[in-house]
Amino acid sequence: MEMSDTAMQTGQQSFYRIVAFGAVAHALLVMILWAVAIYADEILVPGGVWLIGAWAWLGWPIFLAVVRDRASRLTAAAVVIGAFILAPAVPTIDTFSAWSLGGFAP
């Protein structure tokens, strides 16, 4: 049985909605963990795990670059929204990365 064009388009739209939701949810999770650690002084996950999660967010734009001919505006907007959500944590990500690679500052 062949799928109709409408069914395939609906399936693709659902896939892109899931990708868009995933990118934004990933950014929100990273930011919530960061905000809780900074403002509530509660460490919910070790710093290294958080750092890996923060860097892993870059997988969303890379994935969308690979399928760019099929990526919709929704997924592109989700990546931009996710980047804005993560923007306040960028200095912390940079500092933690430097510390992870070169050791703690004196």
Share of the chain above pLDDT 90, in %: 28
Q: Is residue 4 part of a domain?
A: no
The domain total for the chain is 1
Q: Please write down the HEC assignment for all residues of the chain.
A: CCCCHHHHHHHHHHHHHHHHHHHHHHHHHHHHHHHHHHHCCCCCCCHHHHHHHHHHCCHHHHHHHHCCCCCCHHHHHHHHHHHHHHHHHHHHHHHHHHHHHHCCCC
Q: Is residue 27 part of a domain?
A: yes
Q: Is residue 89 part of a domain?
A: yes
| CA 84 to chain CA centroid, nearest Å | 11
Higher pLDDT, residue 39 or 3:
39
Q: Is residue 11 part of a domain?
A: no
Q: Is residue 9 part of a domain?
A: no
Question: Which pLDDT score is estimated for 8?
Answer: 57
Q: Is residue 54 part of a domain?
A: yes
Q: What amino acid occupies position 37? A: A
Taking only the tens place, the pLDDT of each residue in 39-88 is: 988 889 888 898 999 999 999 888 877 776 566 777 788 889 999 999 99
Q: Which domain holds residue 97?
A: 16-102
Q: Is residue 26 part of a domain?
A: yes
